[in-house]
Amino acid sequence: MIISISGSPGSGKSTVARSLASVLGYDYISIGSLMRELSAIRHKSLIDLSREAEHDKSIDSFLDNHLKALSNKNNLVVDARLGFHFIRNSVKIFLVANPFVSALRIRNAHRASENLSFPKLFFEVVRRAISEKRRYKKYYDVNLYTLSNYDLTVDTSNFSVDEVLSLLLSFLVDKGVLNDN
């Protein structure tokens, strides 16, 4: 089984996906980490790399090829905005959070953007989401925020990681893809 976790920036996607993989004993793959590595190699912020990707499809092609290669694997939790699109046989989960909460989470995660003032970080989170939405529409004719793409959507704004993890595990048991042992 493959579980793909998509979501808005700062929704807890990576933290929840990593925790879920650990609980299930599955491998964890993060396309976001790959994007952060690419931004570091190119000495660009994520928002700058996202803006560049709007005009340079090679950035997304690099990430997409990693995703496509995963579709025939098993026992994976994949943290990827477009996981639902490229790994169609996965259980598709979408996490979303209020942009204010998202900016707080990103600041508290001490990512490269931590040096920004909070208002600028908030603005960057919103701009990044807009940039990605525009890019995915242009390249794939896909709207990440169309909830019918997913088997489950969770607004994580008011939940801890453990609470979200509990919701996901209950969903997977109810869906019949996990035993409740």
Q: What is the pLDDT of residues 50-83, one digit of tens each?
A: 778 888 888 888 888 888 888 888 999 999 989 9
Q: Average pLDDT, stretch 95-99?
A: 94
State residue 63's pLDDT score: 86
Residue 10's contacts (CB-CB under 8 Å, 6 or more residues apart) are: 97, 99, 101, 102, 103, 104, 105, 106, 125
Query: Dmax of the chain from CA atoms?
Result: 48
In tens, the pLDDT along 12-55 reads 999 999 999 999 999 999 988 888 888 888 888 777 887 788 88
Q: Average pLDDT, stretch 132-144?
A: 89
Domain ranges of the chain: 2-174
Residue found under tokens 């092609």 = 61
Proportion of the chain above pLDDT 70, given as a percent: 96
Cβ(32)–Cβ(103) below 8 Å? no
State residue 111's pLDDT score: 58
Closest CA to 125 of 24, 7, 6: 7
Q: State in words which class domain 2-174 has.
A: alpha beta
Helix (H, G, I), strand (E, B) or coil at 175: coil
Report the C-alpha gap between 136 and 34 in whole angstroms. Answer: 17
Report the C-alpha gap between 83 and 69 in whole angstroms. Answer: 11
Q: For residue 18, what is the enclosing H or E element?
A: helix 13-24
